[in-house]
A and B are shown apart, each in its own frame.
Chain A
Amino acid sequence: MIRDITIGQYYPADSVIHRLDPRTKLVATLVFIISLFLFRSFAAYLVATAFLACVIRASKVPFRYMVRGLKAVLILLLITVLFNMFLTPGTPLVRIWKLTITREGLTTAVFMAIRLTYLIIGSSVMTLTTTPNQLTDGLEKGLRPLNKIHVPVHEVAMIMSIALRFIPILLEETDKIMKAQMARGADFESGGILRKAKSMVPLLVPLFISAFRRANDLAMAMEARGYHGGEGRTRMRPLQYHRRDGAAYLSLLVYLLAMYAAKRIAGF
């Protein structure tokens, strides 16, 4: 049961996007984000909208999950839009008290809003359709060339995946210890800051002990199974590109060409 609890926002579903190689998804997300900043034109953004819509459709993840990530950056989004709108010099459009909205300011603000929104949604598509473990696998394999310049890619990836794996475990442990202490009459909610901090002791002490115990157990289990770092290590399920990944890269190329064409031909 614990296996299917993952952090982040992974949404389990059976779709083409879910099945894609994590490297494909990483590259595609990166390319998509770069394309948003490269092609500054409304026509190009129309293409981006269509592309994003198709991908979301194919991923079978409900749309409300996609926009959930936007909530976190809403304030940042508002500030960016407002600052760009009022503080860009150019031809004035409207004047409210001491503030002027310029034509240039308005366009920049709209562009910024679209970019940020799409950036968030685009990366949400990736995190929603890829488990954190797949993601680190993808990163490890994708960044392997860096090994040549003595970047410990495997170790970093291993640390990442262990850390990710421990988050749900420790969350569950916290919940368990909290309940156990509540059964002994502990109160984690009421009181001032000092009392609250003090009431955390019965939670934090067992939690730290448990974290160390688990880390110890894991280290021992890894050694017992002959783990000695990344060198010469093979995988049970090596990442492999399939035909669908080729198709995905091809669509990405088509998307880029469409973006370029849209900007050149439409010109707005």
Chain B
Amino acid sequence: MSIKIEHLNYIYSQGTAYEKQALTDINLELPDGQFAGVIGHTGSGKSTLIQHLNGLIKATEGTVYYNGENIYAENYVMKDLRSRVGLVFQYPEYQLFEVDVFTDVCFGPKNLGLPKEEVEKRAYEALRQVGLKEKYFKKSPFELSGGQKRRAAIAGILAMQPEVLILDEPTAGLDPRGRDDILEQIARLHAERGITVVLVSHSMEDIAKYVERIIVMEKGRVRFDDTPKKVFEHDRELEQIGLAAPQVTYVMRELKNRGMDVDLCATTIDEAKQSILRCMAGRG
């Protein structure tokens, strides 16, 4: 039960003047229930990669296995895969189209051919999960604020009850408060339902706090693939490819340089706080 990618290559517009190798020899395995982060600079191939996971893009070379089955096999049912691997695109609010929020969230489960009661039950649940209040259910999606629209769009995917949830930059264009809210809710979903979550972002700050594994993409290749702590040890290399470790890492390093015996592995503000407090207590 997992997603497995073997020797995946993808070339855009093959055979034309605009041919471009987007992904080169990707090998990955995503076990069930993992909370993984994919990070990379613009154009590093992270969006292209995740679109392979539910078969929206067909690899030029290589194979993708879902639960051990080759998704490029002739008799594989793509529609089935898409309901199990939910993909939330960047700026998902731009795909809202129905007359009201509730009907729009129903679109996904309805396409799965479920009975009406089940569709509505799932839509209702999904909207609750993203924390959208009931008074918005019957409003036009275009009357909502940016953050609310984003939630409604994410609910549209959740209502299909996928086993794997992939989110492409779910916080892009939101204010800090909205960003934290959405990330918290995703983390809660992962904890409560135990689904696999893949979070795509270009900001380490966003990712470091939640994920248990970070996949760093650079120019269509996997550069690092490890736990956040291990990945942040490469902060020099990360800077070279236009990324950075979270700011806490830099603070801790500077403290250590100035003679404080803090834990360099702290990746979140909380961990850093504990470590600094311990040091201070030790000194006092």
Interface residues of A (CB under 8 A from B): 1, 4-5, 11-12, 176-177, 179-187, 201-202, 205-206, 209-210
Contact = CB atoms under 8 A, between A and B. Distances in A.
B87 interface: yes
A20 B163 CA distance: 57
Given A201-B97, A202-B107, A183 B18 contact: no
12 contacts: A1-B43, A5-B18, A176-B89, A182-B82, A183-B54, A184-B157, A185-B107, A185-B111, A185-B160, A202-B107, A206-B95, A209-B94
Residues of B in contact with A, size category: 20 to 34
Interface of B: 17-18, 43, 51, 54, 56, 79, 82-83, 86-89, 92, 94-97, 107-108, 111-112, 142, 156-157, 160
A202 B82 CA distance: 17
A5 B20 CA distance: 12
Contacts of B108: 184-185
Contacts of A180: 89, 92, 95
A263 to B, nearest CB: 38
A184 B156 contact: yes
Among B18, B112, B142, B160, the one with the most A-chain Cβ atoms within 10 Å of its Cβ is: B18
A142 B56 CA distance: 46
A187 B113 CA distance: 12
B255 to A, nearest CB: 40
A179 B56 contact: yes
A185 B79 contact: yes
Nearest to B51: A179
Given A184-B156, A201-B97, A179 B107 contact: no
Contacts of B107: 181, 184-186, 202
Contact of A183 (B17, B86, B94, B142): B86
Contact of B95 (A4, A5, A11, A177): A177
A152 B43 CA distance: 41
The 4 closest A-B pairs by CB, nearest first: A185-B111, A205-B97, A184-B108, A180-B95
A11 B18 CA distance: 9
Contacts of A184: 82, 95, 107-108, 111, 156-157, 160
Contacts of A210: 94
Contacts of A12: 17
